[in-house]
Amino acid sequence: MSVLLIEPFYGGSHKQLMDLLQEELQEDCVLCTLPAKKWHWKARTSALYFMQTVPTSSNYRILFASSVLNLAELAALRPDLGKLKKVLYFHENQLSYPVQKCQERDFQYGYNQVLSCLVADVVVFNSAFNMESFLKSIGKFMKLIPDHRPKDLEKIIRPKCQVLYFPVRFPDVSRFMPEHKLARLEKVIGVKRSGDAYQSEGLPGQQESRAVMKASDAHPESGLCEPQPGLCTTQHEGLPSPPAAPVQAEAPESTNPCQGEDKQCLTFNLSNILSGLDYQQRPLHIAWPHRWEHDKDPETFFKVLMKLKEQDLPFQVSVLGETFSEIPDIFSEAREVLGSSVLHWGYLPSKDDYFRALCAADVVISTAKHEFFGVAITSPWWVVIIFPCTKAVPS
């Protein structure tokens, strides 16, 4: 148990990364987490919680935590943990994260992250954009302090920083894909048939994505984690699923703790969607696989779809992704206006159902105002970005 993993917001990409590290390190690690709810409170208070709950051990050598944790507070509250080699991982940073209109940026969240960087031995970012947007904002951010401002913090923190891209596996989804897409993959990007599966020769990013734990200089390379939705937080009512039809895939294995308890979890049946219609005759199928939050700019996405609906242009849409306690009003408005154009509405707890929905889509769209990495949009092999995005979003 030489590695202590701490995640105050154990959901989505945060959960994926911790699960990956735990899988690779196996018995050589201890994982301590809090649920992925009310991140504001987790950022403010999780250090105090972990002070009381992280077991004491003389075997710890490395502490690996996400930047949601106030590492400075934990190191002060638990001097035994402060002596470890501390690796801080930034999924996102609070200095450049977009805030909603008429809402001031809370100084404390960014300040906590700066303090954590000063205490950490290694600071890791999931993209160069994430790293540079954070480091270059420190000076301006500190000017919010009315007087006696600290100086040269960027110069102190930058030497500790490095970029290690979020590990993403491009899984074999051929069993979910219609024939015309399999043929296109084989022709365009060199995917070859191997029995009933298709294999890719060196998809971009797969080689370098096995580097997450190299920052510790102490453990073997990590593996890759599969992109999938985060924890099941809220289920949404959608259109009734069509009658079940035989599917050539195995029954999806539950990977979500909510799935066993909620019998209303929705599924997505590709066979029924494709039956009876040639793919060129079907309406364009659009997928939007993102968190239902303001920074993903659902307003722009739905305004475009409502305009298409107003002009009576045929299309179908699958709105996927997880939700939290607050959902932008545009979702309920769009659900009513789009009506029969909605093919699926809400979170898909099954990984297989999630991939099946993406494979059935013709276009996967991001309207995000920015992305630090963009795990959801790296899942499909076919991506269309319809609005200008940051360089952190794969094109």
CA–CA distances in Å: residue 60 to residues 1, 66, 70, 222, 251: 6, 17, 19, 19, 40
Instruction: Give one DSSP letter per residue of 287-344, joined into a string.
Output: EEES-SSGGG-HHHHHHHHHHHHHTT--EEEEEE----S---THHHHHHHHHGGGEEE
Phi-psi region of 11 (alpha: psi -120 to 50; beta: other; left: phi over 0): beta
Tokens (6 digits) for 135: 């480091």
DSSP state for residue 387 in the 8-state scheme: S
CA 126 to chain centre: 11
Predicted local distance difference test score (pLDDT) of residue 225: 34
Secondary structure letter of residue 354 according to DSSP: H
d(CA 118, CA 153): 8
Q: What is the pLDDT of residue 73?
A: 98
370: pLDDT confidence band, cut at 50, 70 and 90? low
Distance CA 161, CA 159 (A): 6
pLDDT of residue 357: 80
- The pLDDT of residue 137 is 94
Span 323-355, pLDDT tens digits:
777 888 889 898 999 999 998 898 888 878 887
Instruction: Check residue 350 and give its pLDDT.
Output: 81
Token reading at 367:
């309207």
Three-class secondary structure of residue 107 per DSSP = helix
Cβ distance 122 to 162 under 8 Å?
yes
pLDDT single digits (tens) 208-262? 433 444 444 444 333 333 333 333 333 333 333 333 333 333 433 333 333 333 3
pTM of the model: 0.61
Q: Is the pLDDT of residue 387 over 80?
A: no
Whole-number pLDDT of residue 99: 62
- Determine phi and psi for 266, rounding to 5 degrees: -85, 155
Compute the distance between CA of residue 148 and CA of residue 145 in angstroms, rounded to an integer. Answer: 8
Which percentage of the chain shows pLDDT scores above 90? 39
- Give Cα separations from 321 to 98, 298, 367 (angstroms): 19, 12, 14
Q: What is the pLDDT of residue 353?
A: 83
Q: How far apart are CA 64 and CA 85, in angstroms?
A: 8
Q: What is the pLDDT of residues 108-136, one digit of tens each?
A: 999 999 999 999 999 999 989 899 999 99
pLDDT at 322 over 50: yes
How far is the C-alpha of 239 from the C-alpha of 170, rounded, in Å?
A: 29
Under the banding of pLDDT at 50, 70 and 90, the label for residue 315 is very high
Residue 185 above 80 pLDDT?
Answer: no
pLDDT reported for residue 83: 97
Residue pLDDT, tens place only, 79-100: 999 999 999 999 999 998 766 6
Q: What is the mean pLDDT of the chain?
A: 74
255 contacts: CB under 8 Å, gap ≥ 6: 228, 349, 350, 351
Q: Which of 39-48, 274-283, 307-316 has the lowest mean pLDDT?
A: 274-283
